[in-house]
Structure 1
């Protein structure tokens, strides 16, 4: 018996030392400080790393080079990183397919055979016809960093206008391809951004763009005076017709869409990420008719039924409803309700020949309801499990729909559903090297101090031990009315396979319960978002899942801000922090690219002294303090991120490396030829996720794939 105990002790020690047989604390490069001071309402605020905002300077590039070298050296020495990368490559190698789209007699869909850096667009002549490649973005660059960002097919299926993104940038270049020949025309449009593409028959399309930025400022310049143009097929961009420009309000964006009948143009205006204006005019006419210019509602066109526009709107309904608009008399005072607001949040409605299929979100999970076109509820569509409906597409002129479904342990499936016969069949199912039946998803609620019930989805292996020792990854976003529903993510497999618990905290600021839930986490309520996230961490500890030495936190963009704030406020609660492309300087975020549009959620430091002091009180860069034991931190950013510019992450890590004197690593991972996340090649994603898990497991003293 004594020999057996000794063997177990030695085995435990060997396991521990094999985990720690890796990199020591990094030797950070020195980051110079400058004497930059801003004065806000009489308060002096030092900004010693202001020079890092110029990401094109040779000095910044040299700093980036040194930081990359330190981070790479650290990650390369983690002994099990290769195992993680190999397993990620195995599980990522499965076929993925999108919901089909029909235009004319042609069918279009996206597919990725597994490890292709970019998904490929296919076309078929008829639903049962032979498929052929229409556009393979993998051929647009040698390294896979040119992505297909958007495409729209003309109604007759003759032409495709498509937008590409280079290196992850939000800037778009638009081309036109002949669907029959698969060849591009001469059309080439530049400097489109935050734009849709809307066809007028096959003659041309509407799009939105900015004036060309100054050379060297493409990724940082303030995006001002967006304009709507009409591009006629075959003509140079210089001859495009200016359709709309607001010469008085530089910080407003505009997009235009053609209605179902091709007779009217709908113009949406935004001055933030929330709420929009709506104007309408007959195509070919000059005068716009006002539908709603209050900028107090979110309204979008769904389709035309019996000559009336159906719109999805939160006008008078924070959880959204459907109303009708007469395009010849569109004033908001004349709108009529057709589908009333319910307890669930109405997120999407797709119109078929005879029905309207509505997707509701209830406790962050999807539900499908079918209505007739008088607004009467007919029946519900039963979904395979608690999860999320992605793309929902009806086929013009009939009563058949296609929708995608997935959950944490259910890989993506594409269903077709006959609305008259009320039956469905699986059109496509992903075949992943992952046994979802071995895992369980739980929906639990944590009660906040003000009584709010904060939902959390918890995913883990069945039969997990509840002794407080499990590694746990807590994800959060909490902003901009966005909901991250339960969805299959191949990136989670290595974490779950190795006994990890994954938690998605649906904190306030998102859209889980409509506009009220969103507003409860904005501006002077932003601390609620951080409090909800901290509550989620404390709750999973109380439930016996984990302890503070085994919690990693993860979030990107607004979620990166979340991580920066909570790591400052409760560094004792988390062992690892993984903020990605985060908004870290809350006093200056509005000075870069599209940052001004986020003020509806954040407020601005120049709004008022009260708003400045509130932002200053939680801004991640400004609240890093010496003497605290911060979590091991790996910051993620990219050199082509022109949404949340990398200066946020640069200044954050420079401050953290300067002030934190503990033993845990605080590093930054800077990706090249990548942006805010969309369109990132699969190969880069695998490398990034492997680094994330290697860093996390190592700093939790866990060894995966033993």
Structure 2
């Protein structure tokens, strides 16, 4: 067992009457729990790799449970002694406490919308009769009533075509496993038995008769960590038992895929089936639902592209694809002969990445231009109608509606602008504010600037840096560098309450658009995958070096943060360049790169990572950056707060457990290496607001404390350096 004693730097306490501050000192002693080592060894292509903490992978073990409890005692013993942690929590709660309203949508005779009054743990669904005053809206479905702790969340909702029946999914404790309940929307009564053991699924209705959904067979062993490999598409007909739901696709060896999805076209004519072996690329099939017992028609028979239908007019299909078009395009083809050689360009590929939608009889082509939105409206002949005038520079989304609608609602946000909802007249192109939040934050006091910097190999990478106006570039500003860099995910500007509190305290928030993401299309994504994954880490390191070189911050005031694949990013960066930052916050990270594919649906991430079983070259490459395998004796790592959830069945918490154990065993110097394990929480989605606020208070408190900062009362919105 290791003990470290940290002397808190002088804390300046500012009284209400601004009396002279007095210096306070106290010691925080961290008693790390004992973590046993076992002689577990795996041979990869002739190389033996020790895995002393593999026993922590057993989430059903009482030993693992005891270890989790002991680690949390140690971690909270430290966090509880940060003097301004409660002030941060209070400020987060105060700023979070404003009404948040989602875009309205019509189903049957009603208009629905999601709303959170402020600090509700989960968003509530409201509705009013379409055409009546929205002020008459009533509560339709309140997930906050599912349990007292707010840890059962809504995992999706889908209405029948006539709007009279709702299928909604719930997640318990943050798990990806779902249950589906079926409700009569008039009486708000549950009308059937609950469907169970549903995972990675939408719910798509065929008329008003039933819906398609997807799941795996329940795994043997732990449902939170055991491998799930064969996804299947089912059809549930109302009035029947789930055990009688037929498998529509995925029940045979020839149809074995890790991810299968089914969706019915808006006109009920086609069932669209996508089938994938990884998170990138899909096969595509359609079935004519107007012809009983019709066979599946193959559209794309390989997984070398991402292709899906966005619309159809009769048998004319409109497909979105990146096949031979890395930035995506829309093509048309007849369903009778839909294979790629028959495709005709409808909206051709451009130099910017396309994310299209439809509504009111038009196509809306949203483009990312250096990670910010530009939206073009086209008619069904492919003629450009107009460029949509957006409220500013940032991220716009939600340009979708039913074909008969005459208006739609879209959202707009950026790093300093809280998300607002705009009503858009589809015919005229006129926008007007529909919902603008009233929040205790003034965007005019802050600025966001996009810069471009050179990575290690010379590649130009964009980064948006946000902070208070008038910030002094003295190299001593607390800075969070946040990144992801994977799975074709794009980090576009969006407002965060937590980040607003960070910036109030004088903090800088910087987000680079790393390779591996989707900001510049498939080529940008592929440049950060498998044997090119180091590009992502190099891009992140170069971003940190840019911020330091330009005197925004320095290594003593820099924190790096990311979650999931971003947790891997943080883990790899801190083990490769521990000198570069003062604080590291890897959240729900993929940290054991030799075994990630053996848990739940992890094998589906192989497009991005490759696996240690592929070949010797891939094994050695993964081992070369795997955070769990690259913690070294005699190295001083940054102050580290690993965060995870005990119900995370996407990136199992064993990744974080093993990484924390390695750090605690090998850390040199006085920087703490702690792990914060949230109970009854998963990968992040559906986390109650109360838990989220507590987590950010801990993260910001830990970060500022280890940088030697005193956070003053939040109403001063100042900072003092220790």
Any conservation in 2 of the 1:558–1:583 contact (CA below 8 Å)?
yes
The 3-state SS of whatever aligns with 1:648 is helix
Matched with 1:149 is 155
Matched with 1:575 is 582
Between the aligned partners of 1:351 and 1:374, the Cα distance in structure 2 is 15
Change (3 A) 1:143 1:366: same
Could you list the runs of 5+ residues in structure 2 that have no partner in the other structure? 1-8, 14-20, 714-722
Matched with 2:227 is 222
Quote the offset at 1:23 in angstroms: 5.0
TM-score by length of 2: 0.94
Q: Return the match for 1:495 from 499, 502, 506.
A: 502
Matched with 1:3 is none
Matched with 2:573 is 566
Matched with 1:124 is 128
Matched with 2:512 is 505
Q: Find out whether 1:617 has 2:621 as its counterpart.
A: no
Quote the offset at 1:286 in angstroms: 4.4
Could you list the runs of 5+ residues in structure 1 that have no partner in the other structure? 1-11
The 3-state SS of whatever aligns with 1:565 is helix
Between the aligned partners of 2:159 and 2:333, the Cα distance in structure 1 is 26
Between the aligned partners of 2:22 and 2:45, the Cα distance in structure 1 is 54
Between the aligned partners of 1:610 and 1:462, the Cα distance in structure 2 is 49
CA RMSD, 1 decimal: 1.6
Q: Find out whether 1:440 has 2:444 as its counterpart.
A: no
Between the aligned partners of 2:11 and 2:115, the Cα distance in structure 1 is 45
Matched with 1:99 is 103
Quote the offset at 1:19 in angstroms: 8.7
Between the aligned partners of 2:137 and 2:621, the Cα distance in structure 1 is 56
The 3-state SS of whatever aligns with 1:572 is coil
Matched with 1:5 is none
Q: Find out whether 1:467 has 2:464 as its counterpart.
A: no
In the TM superposition, what whole-angstrom CA distance separates every residue of 1:424-453 from its partner, at most 9, and x where no partner exists? Answer: 111111111111110000010111243321
Matched with 1:75 is 79
Q: Return the match for 1:247 from 248, 252, 270.
A: 252
Matched with 1:359 is 366
Q: Return the match for 1:517 from 520, 524, 543.
A: 524
Change (3 A) 1:18 1:31: farther
TM-score by length of 1: 0.96
Quote the offset at 1:390 in angstroms: 3.0
The 3-state SS of whatever aligns with 2:300 is strand
Between the aligned partners of 1:18 and 1:431, the Cα distance in structure 2 is 38
Quote the offset at 1:196 in angstroms: 0.9
| Aligned pairs (5 A) from 1:481-492 | 481-492=488-499
Quote the offset at 1:186 in angstroms: 1.7
Q: Return the match for 2:611 from 604, 611, 614.
A: 604
Change (3 A) 1:506 1:61: same
In the TM superposition, what whole-angstrom CA distance separates every residue of 1:480-532 from its partner, at most 9, and x where no partner exists? Answer: 00012100110112210010000011110000100000000000000000000
Matched with 2:12 is 15
Quote the offset at 1:252 in angstroms: 2.4
Between the aligned partners of 1:231 and 1:468, the Cα distance in structure 2 is 60
Any conservation in 2 of the 1:530–1:562 contact (CA below 8 Å)?
yes
Matched with 1:381 is 388
The 3-state SS of whatever aligns with 1:60 is helix
Between the aligned partners of 1:576 and 1:86, the Cα distance in structure 2 is 23
Between the aligned partners of 1:18 and 1:114, the Cα distance in structure 2 is 37
Between the aligned partners of 1:683 and 1:218, the Cα distance in structure 2 is 27
Matched with 1:233 is 238
Tell me whether 16-25 or 87-96 shows the greater mean CA deviation.
16-25
Q: Return the match for 1:110 from 97, 100, 114.
A: 114
In the TM superposition, what whole-angstrom CA distance separates every residue of 1:131-163 from its partner, at most 9, and x where no partner exists? Answer: 121110000111000000100111211111100
Q: Return the match for 1:391 from 393, 398, 416.
A: 398
Any conservation in 1 of the 2:357–2:400 contact (CA below 8 Å)?
no
Any conservation in 1 of the 2:285–2:300 contact (CA below 8 Å)?
yes
Matched with 2:354 is 346
The 3-state SS of whatever aligns with 1:316 is coil
Q: Return the match for 1:683 from 690, 695, 699.
A: 690
Change (3 A) 1:504 1:20: farther
